[in-house]
Amino acid sequence: MGATGRHNILETLSIDFDGAAVQTRGISTFCSGRDWCISAATALHHSTEPLVWQDGDHWLALGRSYHDQVGAYLQPLEADWGFASPLLGPEPKVCIDMLEEFLAQPQPIWNVALLSGLSPELARRVSAVLSRKYRCMTREGISCQLASLDGGLDAFYARRSARMRSGLRRGQRKLAANDMVIDQMDSNGSVETLLNRVLDVEQYTWKKRAGQSVLLSPRYHAFYQAVLERASHRGALRAAFVQHKGTDVAYIFGAVLGDTYRGFQLGFHERFSHFGLGNQMQLAMISRLCDEGYHWYDLGMSMDYKQRWSDRNLELVTVVVVRHS
């Protein structure tokens, strides 16, 4: 087992890190892998010191920072939303043993550890072990919604309501009757081109009007650009547009890891909202993923409109560990 630090050391993380994320049960797979975590550590948490330990095919990945009230604290490499799990690997006991040994060291100094992105079972076991030495509190974390792609597109349709199936097929006919086509981007396409096209549409979305577009935030734009560059480099980028007479009017993009696609953002021109472009973007992506043999579509943070697309919830848990003074 060994520890590494500084941001440039993140670039040396091997593909085994992604493999450990894929093998870890009950976590957000993509958001615990290299593309998401390295991008978050460099674009969102650039003042933190990354600390990465490995024990065979198990990993511990944390960032160390400082707060005026609590002093030195530890958090996962991505802590804005809490999707990333800091513990990766197929055997929970190995992960917990590694974490326990790491926390017991005299260096690095820490007062609080925020362990978000854990499965409920792993959080229970972490808390049970660490509470023998530290004060531990378990908190409800973020939840995600997942759609099963098992059985392909026909099986996906069969799991939806008759009303939803009818609406999606009606929407496809409306697109065809109004000179609208789906344009799928290559899996290793130009990220600069993708984001330029996305931002051209974003100017006319309800999110822009409501001041809720994360893509227009310099901080989050830098984050997504970094994630997409990494995903494109390994052929994992997935993106599509609806075009009306050659002009983009809707977009969807995300990336894949293991058997799972993680959706990032979706948007459409408000003037064309009556065409159900958001639904058609989802359907176009699902159709592509089914053709490519993926098993899960991680729709991201739970929201009401995603319920009818999803088949199960992914509940994540945070364990707060406080070192006794």
Read off the pLDDT of residues 257-303 as tens digits, 9 standing for 90 and up: 999 999 999 999 999 999 999 999 999 999 999 999 999 999 999 99
Domain 2-144+314-322 classification at class level: alpha beta
Backbone angles phi, psi at 124, to 5 degrees: -60, -45
The mean pLDDT value for 103-111 works out to 94
Measured CA to CA, the distance from residue 57 to residue 16 in angstroms comes to 7
Distance between CA 242 and CA 251 in Å, rounded? 6
How high is the mean pLDDT of the chain? 95
Q: Show the DSSP H helices in the chain as ranges.
A: 15-23, 34-43, 92-104, 120-130, 152-158, 162-177, 191-202, 206-209, 218-233, 277-292
Residue at 307: amino acid letter: Q
pTM over 0.85: yes
Nearest to 51 by CA among 40, 69, 65, 39: 65
What's the pLDDT tens digit per position in 50-101?
999 999 999 999 999 999 999 999 999 999 999 999 999 999 999 999 999 9
What pLDDT is stored for residue 8 in this prediction? 61
Domains 2-144+314-322 and 150-294 share a fold: yes
CA 264/CA 255 separation, integer angstroms: 8
- The length of the chain, given as a count of residues: 325
For 127-162, write each residue's pLDDT tens digit. 999 999 999 999 999 999 999 999 999 999 999 999
The fourth-level CATH superfamily of domain 150-294 is Gcn5-related N-acetyltransferase (GNAT) (3.40.630.30)
> Alpha-carbon distance 203 to 9, whole Å?
37
Alpha-carbon gap, residue 62 to 257, rounded angstroms: 21
Query: How far is it, in rounded angstroms, from Cα 116 to Cα 37?
Result: 13
Q: What percent of the chain has pLDDT over 70?
A: 97
Kindly report, residue by residue over 179-222, the tens digit of the pLDDT: 999 999 998 889 999 999 999 999 999 999 999 999 999 999 99
Which three-class secondary structure state does DSSP give residue 71?
Answer: strand
Residue 3 confidence class, pLDDT cut points 50, 70, 90 = very low
Report whether 158 contacts 148 (CB < 8 A): no
State the angle between helix axes of 92-104 and 120-130 in degrees (0 to 180), rounded to the nearest 10.
40
Domain boundaries, the chain: 2-144+314-322, 150-294
